[in-house]
Structure 1
Amino acid sequence: MSKFTEKNILIVGASSGIGQAVARQLAAEGATLFTAGRRKPEGFSSTHLTWDATQPDETALNALPGTLHGLVYAPGTIRLAPFGRLKMEHYEEDLKLNVLGAISILKTAMPALIQAKSASVVLFSTVAAQLGLGLHSSVSVAKSAVEGLVKSLAAEYAPHYIRFNAVAPSLTDTPLAQAAGLVAPNRLEAAGKRHPLGRIGTPDDIAGMVTFLLSDESAWVTGQVLHIDGGMSTLK
């Protein structure tokens, strides 16, 4: 029997990038997938709920099951700009997508997570929340808030046996990073050399850790921010 057989997992933002890689791995392990986002993901079977993280509508999630064993919130932003060029609305937009969207869906899903009596929630931070990286102030603010949320909820919901953890990647080859011009062919070699392991990440690199955190193999892991970053956050 697969380790995710008879487990209901909700993935928000599964249409591309890391969220899609997580969904593919979980589908291969036998999970029953529920997805939420603006676009229905392809390549695996799921019950899809149309939901916009920037304008969260709780009624759109009425089709969620009564029991949820796992939740992954994958939407994110890459907004790199000098502090002087960033406007207040840029910070507000990043907070809305990265933090408030996660809070909204967690509030809706919490009764189903409690019902599981052993659930796991995985949110996403970034290596920039730990390292001082120029041009990253907006995303660093938003993702630092995610880390605080994870630790607070891990403490609050430990009596309900719900585990909360965050994964903090470094640069990963996703459509979001491609759209930001961060993984263009002429920049890949230099980007890889900034990481001790000599390359940038892949969605599957990150998804493997997320799948572990959702599984019973990580049953004693909660309140952690796990840096899956090729050593960038700790090695020189």
Structure 2
Amino acid sequence: MKKNILFIGGSQGIGFETAKLLHDQHNVIVASRSKGKLDELNVTHLEFDVTKDNISELDLPDTLDGLVYFPGTINLKPFKMMKPSVFEEDFQLNFMGLVKSTHGVLKKLKNSEQASIIYYSTVAVQTGMPFHTSVAAAKGAIEGFARSLAAEYAPSFRVNVIAPSLTNTPLADKLLGNEKKKEKMDERHPLKRVGEAKDIANISAFLLSEESSWITGQVLGVDGGMSSLNVS
């Protein structure tokens, strides 16, 4: 059955790779600031800035079978160098944008037989890492919110979170900007490589499919073994 799936963000990186997997079988709507390479795909693009636009003003179907929230930040600095305003900005984009987007399409999600919602966290929430205070705090809020939302709305719709480790996307350019940096980051992972956008896209497509219909309220670590293995 063809589904209506809304992406908030998603014109590049993990979002674009997920759209590539889904666009032939489903009606994928990407609400993002830029169109990126979406012209290559059979998707609908709606211009939307989650930090200032109202999602209720978008021309969306009455029924949404999937919602995926992609916007995020990677602010990795020592705590002493981060002003409280940095935490507020990260929280607004990572968490409050997600809350507003979900709240704004709640009725459309409930119109589905059983919609699937996907959010993204980070391995740094469950595994303490230096310089991750801001992003871990914002993403940690997502994990708690997602579990509560999943409980409140079961069985009407499902809510799951994917928690990647470092993934090779435009958002991570500063950390993977040259071969030496990438090799160093590869070595930190038990599987000896950082993630690729398609690694996360594959799990995202699965969670949006009927094959995952008995999965909700979960935080899935897709992290090359970073969160659970110590092979040093």
The TM-score range, normalised by the shorter chain, is over 0.9
What is residue 166 of structure 2 aligned with on the other side?
171
What is residue 92 of structure 1 aligned with on the other side?
88
What is residue 20 of structure 2 aligned with on the other side?
24
What is residue 46 of structure 2 aligned with on the other side?
49
- Which residue type is aligned with residue 122 of structure 2? T
Equivalents in 1 of 2:26, 2:155: separation in Å?
25
Q: How many residues align?
A: 228
Q: Summarize the alignment of residues 1-236 of structure 1 with structure 2, pairs less than 5 Å apart.
A: 5-28=1-24, 30-41=25-36, 42=38, 43-61=40-58, 63-160=59-156, 162-178=157-173, 180-236=174-230
Q: What is the CA-CA distance between 1:159 and the residue it aligns to?
A: 3.7
- Which residue type is aligned with residue 120 of structure 1? S
TM-score (norm 2): 0.95
Equivalents in 2 of 1:45, 1:92: separation in Å?
36
Bigger drift between 225-234 and 103-112 goes to 103-112
Q: What is the CA-CA distance between 1:109 and the residue it aligns to?
A: 1.1
Equivalents in 2 of 1:213, 1:119: separation in Å?
10
Tell whether the 8 Å contact from 2:164 to 2:223 is kept in structure 1 after alignment: yes
TM-score (norm 1): 0.93
Q: What is the CA-CA distance between 1:183 and the residue it aligns to?
A: 4.5
Query: Is the partner of 1:112 in helix, strand or coil?
Result: helix
Gaps in structure 1 of 5+ consecutive residues: none
Tell whether the 8 Å contact from 1:50 to 1:60 is kept in structure 2 after alignment: no
Gaps in structure 2 of 5+ consecutive residues: none
Query: Is the partner of 1:15 in helix, strand or coil?
Result: coil
Percent identical among aligned pairs is 47
